[in-house]
Amino acid sequence: MTAERVDSRGAFPGETYLHPLRGSVFLVILAYRFLSVNQPLGRDQGIFACVGQNMLKGWVPYRDLWDQKPPGIHFSYAFFIWLFGDSMKVVQAMDLAVYALTAFMVYSVVREMSGVRTGTLAMLVYFFYSDPLFYGYSNGYWARSQAETYMVPFLIGGLWIFMRFLRSRKARLAYLAGMFWGAAFLFKYTAVFYPVSALVFMWLTAFPQGRRLSRPNLCRFGRTLIILLCGFGTSLVPFVIYFAARGALGDLIEATVFYNLKYVVAATKSNGGPGTMLAQLVKWIQRNPFIWLTGIAGGIALAARMRENRRGVILLFYLAAAWAAIAVNRRYFHYYFIQIAPPLAMLSAYVLDLGIKAMREKRLQLLAFPALAACVLLLALDVQRVRRNLEPDLDFALGKTSQAEYWAGFVTGDFSFLADMYLARYLEERTDPEDPVFIFGFEPLVYFLADRRPASRYIYNDPITSPGLSPEAANAKIEMMVADLERSRPAYIVVVERDANPVDPTDSYRFFRKTPVLRRFVEEGYVLDRQARKFHIYRRRETGC
């Protein structure tokens, strides 16, 4: 990505038209993506919303509400709910706002490397192809407002600031880059790959090959590392203090570190090795051929022109970090790939810009024209696919379908939003706002929809039924859960059946029937009130409903 003469706004001579064009296309994409605010939440979002909602009531994550995700996502949901209210539309609107912000950050990074035209292409490619609609109508909603969504702006911000540091050598920029990457770490610990990749890039490109181990260069690199770590730690310190002051630091570490290590080991055993990852890559190229093929082509072109585009090579390191962060999870859920969209969009813009420049040279037009024509064809096919996936949202917005008909389409595996809404309304109608309820299964969204407090810290059963747990660890958690129930005496207990899934192949109802201490607690203090859909609903005996 070579530097060329630009005007005061960053445009190449004769290309000031890009400013209104960029804004117009961006607004078109924003307009159709805005329809997604009507979509309901998925299971993961239900966890985050439940934790965020109850944090505002004084509950502490991990100690009072168990989850395996780091705290950044819970604090984000709590902040949005505090600011705008506990509505599903708030969560979806924040998702869209973060994507829009990220698109402008992608523009800023690429503009610094190559000017407005390439930056504009990168921004628009990212904003279009980051739309979860590409995952399909029944899966797209599941990818909204995930931890990766909120992590990415901090990753890109850290990249942009670190690039400026490499140019100016100002220590405060290294410190700020570390702060941004530290903030990203609070959403997913795999964010640590990104500053590592940036430091490797610095080591390989900022120092001459024969003098990398000289004392001045080692001191300079070590000073940068220390400053970066100080900035990284600055973002973590307030959260460490928050949890330590509430006696929840051990709970945080157990849930987000030790449990996740067991989770990854279990995933490695069930998902195989590199072959599974390669198969997933092929699937993703087939699903989004434009951004993947142009992104890979951009990476190859950038590597081939490395001497001319040394600053731009950092994108290859960013891409490698993104791929490592995905691979280490060992499960390859579609929303994990949210973090790989920015570097792919940047590299895609790079090769598209090369194609546009080649069109100006007669000797290259014969190659550039068919390549750009193929890109336009792929883009047209993807626009058509988005239009098809958008139809349910558009029909609902235009009043062509009812809310129940619209919600009925949001089914993923064993999860049905309409079923969760049914249970939430059932509990809401039969309990008071201060009554605790308990759901043994994987339906934490119900707590948020009904606005009822969970009777146990275990708002979903993964930490109890996970195949990666030893029998001793599982029994200890069961005892803790039953102790929670004995203290809170929930008005209703719901046991979910037919909820086995790839993450946890255990059917909750079967597990309940095979667990004497839990079954005895329910049978002695509760009566079966109703069996509906996949829910066994038990009412406390002394509750006269």
**391, amino acid identity:** E
DSSP 340-358: GHHHHHHHHHHHHHHHHHH
| Residue 24 covered by a domain | yes
Model confidence at 213, pLDDT cuts 50, 70, 90, reads: confident
- Supply angle C-alpha 532, 534, 538, rounded to 5: 60
Residues 379 and 426 in one domain: no
Dihedral angle of Cα 211, 213, 215, 217, to the nearest 10 degrees: 70
DSSP 466-535: -TTS-HHHHHHHHHHHHHHHHHH--SEEEEE-S---SS----HHHHHHT-HHHHHHHHHHEEEEEEETTE
pLDDT, tens digit (0-9, with 9 covering 90-100), for 383-432: 888 888 889 999 999 999 999 999 999 998 889 999 999 999 999 999 99
Q: Please identify, among 330, 361, 383, the residue that sits at the C-terminal boundary of a domain.
A: 383
**Quick one: average pLDDT of 310-332?**
88
d(CA 245, CA 6) in angstroms, rounded, equals 52
Strand-pair category, 411-412 with 492-496: unpaired
pLDDT, tens digit (0-9, with 9 covering 90-100), for 53-98: 999 999 999 999 999 999 999 999 999 999 999 899 999 999 999 9
Structural domain total, the chain = 2
Looking at residue 268, its pLDDT comes to 63
**Quick one: average pLDDT of 171-183?**
97
d(CA 78, CA 65) in angstroms, rounded, equals 13
Give me the sign of the Cα torsion angle 57, 50, 525, 466: negative
Residues 368 and 510 in one domain: no
Residues 205 and 61 in one domain: yes
**Residue owning tokens 């949001």:** 410
Where is pLDDT greater, at 80 or 25?
Answer: 80
Residues 335 and 470 in one domain: no
d(CA 303, CA 322) in angstroms, rounded, equals 17
d(CA 474, CA 7) in angstroms, rounded, equals 64
Model confidence at 274, pLDDT cuts 50, 70, 90, reads: low
Helix (H) or strand (E) holding 74: helix 72-84
Residue 439 neighbours by CB under 8 Å, 6+ apart:
423, 446, 447, 454, 459, 460, 493, 494, 496
Q: 464: domain range?
A: 413-540
| Residue 6 covered by a domain | no
| Residue 400 covered by a domain | no
Residues 249 and 322 in one domain: yes
Residues 332 and 461 in one domain: no
Residues 71 and 162 in one domain: yes
**Quick one: average pLDDT of 162-191?**
96
Residues 377 and 436 in one domain: no
| Residue 49 covered by a domain | yes
Residues 128 and 216 in one domain: yes
End-to-end Cα separation, the chain, in angstroms:
69
Report the range of poorest mean pLDDT among 3-17, 82-96, 192-206, 229-243: 3-17
| Cβ 89 vs Cβ 37: under 8 Å | yes
Looking at residue 151, its pLDDT comes to 97
Q: In this model, does residue 275 exceed pLDDT 90? A: no
DSSP 191-247: GGHHHHHHHHHHHHHSS-GGGTTSHHHHHHHHHHHHHHHHHHHHHHHHHHHHHHHTT
| Cβ 140 vs Cβ 389: under 8 Å | yes
| Residue 11 covered by a domain | no
Q: In this model, does residue 183 exceed pLDDT 80? A: yes
Residues 270 and 366 in one domain: yes
Where is pLDDT greater, at 305 or 48?
Answer: 48
| Cβ 231 vs Cβ 182: under 8 Å | yes
d(CA 421, CA 40) in angstroms, rounded, equals 10
Model confidence at 331, pLDDT cuts 50, 70, 90, reads: confident
SS3 (DSSP) at 540: strand
| Residue 151 covered by a domain | yes
Report the range of poorest mean pLDDT among 110-114, 239-243, 397-401, 403-407: 110-114
Instruction: Give the chain's radius of gyration (CA, Å).
Output: 25
Residues 268 and 229 in one domain: yes
Q: In this model, does residue 523 exceed pLDDT 70? A: yes
pLDDT, tens digit (0-9, with 9 covering 90-100), for 126-154: 999 888 877 765 568 889 999 999 999 99
- Supply angle C-alpha 12, 343, 70, rounded to 5: 135
| Residue 434 covered by a domain | yes
Closest of 131, 231, 257, 216 to residue 173, by C-alpha: 231
| Residue 406 covered by a domain | no
Looking at residue 270, its pLDDT comes to 58
Q: Please identify, among 367, 383, 399, the residue that sits at the C-terminal boundary of a domain.
A: 383
Residues 418 and 317 in one domain: no
